[in-house]
Chain A
């Protein structure tokens, strides 16, 4: 490294050549990445219908952010709903896909397994398929007369006729209903961002849970590949050394393999959190935000506000709040991993 730096100092004019070489890439990034981001940020402080050129928009200060976060009204309530729905989605999907992907990677990586290539391909397959196509298949699977209900009807007593994608009841509300709590206790009437505490604690709706199952199924394969790469990077000698030292299989997994997988785990969790906070296509194809707004997510809300409600400024503001939310969650996750290390 030092050698390179010294040389570049001697031949100063080479830095100009260097900049020239990266200029095409920089220009591409600038035009297609930086400029749109800056422009979207600027739009988030304006009122723009997006039905006429940008110069027809009017500056309105922080009103878009104020409407979303502070001023009580339908805009705030819808945004709060979308945050709640997506939060449950993240809390459900990220741990499940990470754990499942790790498990599958360990299975595929095991020396005893025969036909590794087959299993690796089979597990990865859902990730290769188009998300919209898979979403439509799921709509059929979970329709009232679909395979899922047929299977459940065969396994359980009675006939199962759940309309999965049309069930707005939250899982936590349902569980509470079974123990006899059907409506909000008095102390839960308080509202946060226009949504009562009782509504915040609804849990994901049955419809959202269906979308979650789909997401876990399709993303696990990709993350399995990352874990697999991580596992194969661990030198075999370490495992053998631990074996010679008398460590049991379990100890070797938890004391040797798992700590060495921390960087991969961080990568998978980060990508998982970012991906789940941006869920859009499955929602668009399967539920369009319904039933009763229980699958509305910030990303879908951006689409709805920008392209259906002609409020592009507000849509841009949601995008930037979502950006902050993702940063926060990634930061939290990083902190948690570091503390455990």
Chain B
């Protein structure tokens, strides 16, 4: 009878001891072959799942190492728990905006330059995954923001895709019907930021040491977009009862929106009959500008099979695999040399590729997320018309200075 009572505490004690002994890692690189690797990824669509599974099956077939894939919902939480427990997956997706936090915490092995022909990757993407001089991980692919519009509506209204802010104002106005805006944009920095960049402004200076919200350029950009909302020719996706720009476009709740490559997959799945096209965003006072978003293949510093993990990442970022991966899943290869091959089967998406030349990275420093939150809060206020540009600029400037100093 007594033994039964002791089983639980004994098991618990054993667990704790096991956990403690497992914590002591070493810096061994491990063998390049014969390892069992674990990979964590998030899923943006069924198409991405299929592409990733195919890539892993192809790698496993080579017989060098065996990769087991975990596609996780609530990805950030799951990854964080694994990292905090000291037993992270060997290879995992890293969102560009998470990179500074992960790099600062020492979770990543810098392997960016260890893949084949590293200079082939777009410079702006490499910068997104560089923190304090170290280039941590090779970008797996990328997306840029551009103007997506309803072809039939623009044709019916006799409107050409706008090339300047003035034309955008006029086009949005012309496409606006009673109770329905011409342009729908999500009220957040990761959309409105393109206007900041087009006006020559940005929340921070280029090395993220100083806030530059309180500048004429940022004020001009915010005022421009706020005025579009005030006049009724632009509105948030939520204000027209939709979750995001793509849904607004698909349901006919707007004629134009600003979104990235992901809209292609979503439209195919949800609104296959809508005729839409992608145009480059209109140029602002300081020219063309957009934002790029990317994800990289990170290798955990705590991994015991780093050499094998690097071999696997090398495989994934090879030209052949990148092209296969991005074929059905409409993000773009992160290697410059592949862009024309990628476009051969999707010429209608050229605007997204063109964006790579003038895209800004939307990555700041560790702990910057609350500042972006604060800016989003202000942008929501501007879109709703209950804040002034001055209030938003000053609040974000202040919030940023708290974090940067």
Contacts and interface: CB of A to CB of B under 8 A. Distances in A.
Partners in one complex: yes
Interface of A: 20-21, 23-24, 27-28, 31, 49-56, 73-75, 78, 143-146, 161, 163, 165-166, 168-169, 290-293, 304, 307-312
Specify the main secondary structure of chain B where it touches its partner. helix
Given A51-B80, A52-B84, A144 B240 contact: yes
Contacts of B6: 23
Which 10 pairs from chain A and chain B are nearest by CB? Answer: A51-B105, A144-B241, A73-B402, A74-B399, A53-B86, A27-B9, A49-B105, A310-B101, A166-B238, A52-B105
A50 B84 contact: yes
A165 B386 CA distance: 16
Given A52-B84, A145-B241, A292-B384, 5 more contacts: A20-B5, A31-B16, A74-B371, A168-B380, A307-B77
A20 B8 CA distance: 12
Given A56-B105, A145-B241, A310-B101, A290 B380 contact: yes
A74 B403 contact: yes
A293 B12 CA distance: 42
Q: In this complex, which of B104, B105, B398 has the most chain A Cβ atoms within 10 angstroms of its Cβ?
A: B105
A308 B369 contact: yes
Given A168-B381, A291-B384, A293-B377, A49 B104 contact: yes
Contact of A51 (B16, B107, B179, B236): B107
A51 B380 contact: no
Nearest to B396: A74
Interface string B227-238: 000000000101
A312 B367 CA distance: 12
B205 to A, nearest CB: 19
B79 to A, nearest CB: 8
B101 A51 contact: yes
Interface of B: 2, 5-6, 8-9, 12, 16, 23, 76-77, 80, 83-86, 101-102, 104-107, 179, 236, 238-241, 366-367, 369-371, 373-374, 376-377, 380-381, 384, 386, 398-399, 402-403
Q: In this complex, which of A20, A28, A166, A304 has the most chain B Cβ atoms within 10 angstroms of its Cβ?
A: A166
A77 to B, nearest CB: 8
B384 A168 contact: yes
A74 B370 contact: yes
Nearest to B405: A73
A53 B239 contact: no
A27 B11 CA distance: 11
A106 B43 CA distance: 50
Contacts of A309: 367, 369-370
B81 to A, nearest CB: 8
B80 A28 contact: no
Contacts of B381: 168, 292
Nearest to A308: B369
B9 A23 contact: yes
B131 to A, nearest CB: 13
B392 to A, nearest CB: 11
A144 to B, nearest CB: 4
B241 A163 contact: yes
Given A20-B5, A50-B80, A166 B236 contact: yes
8 contacts: A50-B80, A50-B84, A75-B370, A168-B380, A168-B381, A304-B373, A307-B80, A310-B366
B77 A163 contact: no
Contacts of A165: 238
Contacts of A292: 377, 380-381, 384
B8 to A, nearest CB: 5
Contacts of A78: 370, 373
A53 B85 contact: yes
Nearest to B102: A51
A27 B12 contact: yes
Contacts of B107: 51-52
B83 A50 contact: yes
Contacts of B105: 49, 51-52, 56, 310
A245 B380 CA distance: 64
Contact of B374 (A50, A55, A74): A74
